[in-house]
Amino acid sequence: MSRALLGFVLLAFALGAGAGCASVPAYKREHLADPIMSFEANAKKDARMMKAMEAREGSTGGTGGAGGGCACN
């Protein structure tokens, strides 16, 4: 490989890697964290069921989240 071709390949790789990193504004992060963005088919239904279960039981946690029924973390 010639030096020019190697330099071009490295430059193209660096530009491609840099283009994939983008900062997301705070007001758009809520849409990315929406359960509908999950790979699971029933993510929104599962989130509703979990919220209802937490409200009925009066506690949270046990599913990877921190906190308790007293709203303390």
The answer to the question of residue 1 being in a domain is no
Q: What is the pLDDT of residue 35?
A: 66
**Residue 60 · residue 69 · CB < 8 Å:** yes
Q: What percent of the chain has pLDDT over 90?
A: 0
pLDDT in tens, 31-65: 777 766 667 777 778 878 888 887 777 766 666 55
Q: How far, in Å, CA of 33 to CA of 44, rounded?
A: 11
Q: Which helix (H) or strand (E) holds 29?
A: helix 26-32
Counted domains in the chain: 1
Residue 10 has pLDDT above 80, yes or no: yes
The answer to the question of residue 31 being in a domain is yes
The answer to the question of residue 9 being in a domain is no
The answer to the question of residue 64 being in a domain is no
**pTM of this prediction exceeds 0.75:** no
The answer to the question of residue 5 being in a domain is no
Boundaries of domain holding 48: 21-57
The answer to the question of residue 73 being in a domain is no
The answer to the question of residue 3 being in a domain is no
